[in-house]
Chains A and B, each alone.
Chain A
Amino acid sequence: MSKLKSATAVQAGHSLGRRIAKHWEYYLLLLIPIVITAVFKYAPIYGVQIAFRDFNPVDGFFGSEWVGLKWFERFFSNYNSTRMITNTVLLSLYSILWTFPIPIVLSLFINQLKNKKFQRVTQTVIYAPHFISVMVLCGMLRIFLSPTGGLISTLAQFLGAPANLNFIDSSSAFRTIYISSSIWQDAGWGTIIYLATLSSVDVSLHEAAKVDGANTWQRILHIDIPVLVPIIVIQLIMSFGSLMNVGFEKAFLLQTPLNKETSEIISTYVYEQGLLKAMYSFSTAVNLFNTAVNIVLLAVVNWVCKRLSDVSFI
Chain B
Amino acid sequence: MKGIWKRLAALTLVLALVAGLAACTGGDNSSSGSSSQGGSSSSEGSAADSSTASTPDDGEKQTSFKIFAGVSELSPDNSEKPIVQQMNEAKGVTIEWNCVSGDTLTEKKNLMLNAGSDSMPDAFMAAQLKDAEIMTCGTKGLFIPLEDYINEETMPNLMSVLEVRPDALAACTMPDGHIYTLPNFGEMGFEYKDGNTYEIGSIPQFTCINTKWLKAVNKEMPKTIDELHDVLVEFKNQDVNGNGDPNDEIPLSFIFPWDNGAWCANMTTLWAPFGCTDYNEDHRAIKDGKVYYQAASEEYKNALAYFHGWFEEGLIDIEVFSQDSSQYIAKGNGEDARLGTFVWWEIPEVVGYDRAEDYAYLPVLDGPDGTHHVNLNQTSTVSRDQFAVTSACKDPKTLLNWVDQMYDPMISMQCNYGPIGVFFDETPDEKGVYNTIELKEGETEGELKSKSELLGPTRQLTEDYGKYFYMEARAQQRLDDLRDFWFNYVDSTESYPNVVYTEEEIDVINDRLSDLKSFTEERASHWLRDGGIEAEWDQYLKDLDSMGLQDVVGAWQSAYDRYAEALK
Chain A positions near chain B (C-beta within 8 angstroms) = 25, 28-29, 31-32, 35-36, 39, 43, 55-61, 77-80, 147-148, 163-164, 166, 168-169, 256-258, 260-261, 275-278, 280
Contact = CB atoms under 8 A, between A and B. Distances in A.
A36 B21 contact: yes
Nearest to A80: B519
Contacts of A258: 321-322, 522, 525-526, 529
A157 B199 CA distance: 48
Nearest to A43: B25
A280 B114 contact: yes
Which of B13, B133, B322, B546 counts the most chain A CB atoms within 10 A? B322
A79 B322 contact: no
Contact of A168 (B18, B322, B529): B322
A257 B525 contact: yes
Interface stretch (B104-112, B430-438, B439-447, B449-457): B104-112
A261 B526 CA distance: 10
Interface string B95-128: 0000000000011001101111000000000000
Contacts of A80: 519
A25 B14 CA distance: 10
B142 A58 contact: yes
A257 B521 contact: yes
Interface string B305-328: 000000000100011011000000
Nearest to A171: B526
Contact of A57 (B140, B519, B525, B547): B140
A304 to B, nearest CB: 38
* Chain B binding surface SS class: helix
Interface string B235-264: 000000000000100000000010000000
B21 A257 contact: no
A72 B24 CA distance: 33
A246 to B, nearest CB: 21
Contacts of B314: 164
B14 A56 contact: no
Contacts of B521: 257
Contacts of B522: 257-258, 260
Contacts of A61: 32
A79 B141 contact: no
B25 A56 contact: no
B114 A278 contact: yes
Contacts of A256: 321-322
Interface stretch (B4-12, B188-196, B341-349, B393-401): B4-12
A-B interface, 7 closest residue pairs, ranked by CB to CB distance from nearest = A58-B140, A278-B110, A57-B114, A257-B257, A257-B525, A28-B14, A275-B107
A260 B523 CA distance: 10
Interface string B1-45: 000001100110110011001001100000010010000000000
A277 B6 CA distance: 53
B543 interface: yes
B110 A169 contact: no
Contacts of A163: 247
Contacts of B116: 57, 60
B322 A56 contact: no
A275 B111 contact: yes
B140 A31 contact: no
A32 B24 contact: no
B73 interface: no
Given A25-B7, A28-B11, A60-B32, 18 more contacts: A28-B14, A31-B18, A32-B14, A36-B17, A57-B140, A80-B519, A148-B319, A163-B247, A166-B318, A169-B322, A257-B321, A257-B521, A258-B322, A258-B522, A258-B529, A261-B526, A275-B107, A277-B514
A36 to B, nearest CB: 7
